[in-house]
Amino acid sequence: MLGWNLAIAGVALFVALGLWQSRRALEKEAVLAEAASTVAGRAAQPLSAASDPTRAGRIEWASGPGVFVDVPALLLDNQQRGGRVGVRAYRVFAPVSGGP
């Protein structure tokens, strides 16, 4: 009896994980679609717009003068672009105006 209960609990767990993964895939597709739309539009916003709390979480194209902060870059390997695998680097960029 205990064996059957564990088996049913295991199946239920894996079904729940599969459903979670399916929902997460849909969320990621929506984010990628938003990013593709932003890149296609190429309507640059000023860097000062990035400090607006109402715009938090949105993917936008920004443009303005600034410098890269002298901290180590965040490297993500196994990233694909144009069918090629490589490394994507992210660095902190500070606007010249001194804003966030």
pLDDT digits (tens, 9 = 90+) for 38-81: 888 888 888 877 778 888 878 888 888 889 999 999 999 988 88
Q: What is the pLDDT of residue 71?
A: 92
Phi and psi angles of residue 59, each rounded to the nearest 5 degrees, phi first: -100, 115
As a whole number of angstroms, the distance between CA 9 and CA 62 comes to 49
As a whole number of angstroms, the distance between CA 46 and CA 82 comes to 29
Q: What is the pTM of this model?
A: 0.54
Domain residues of the chain, as ranges? 1-42, 44-100
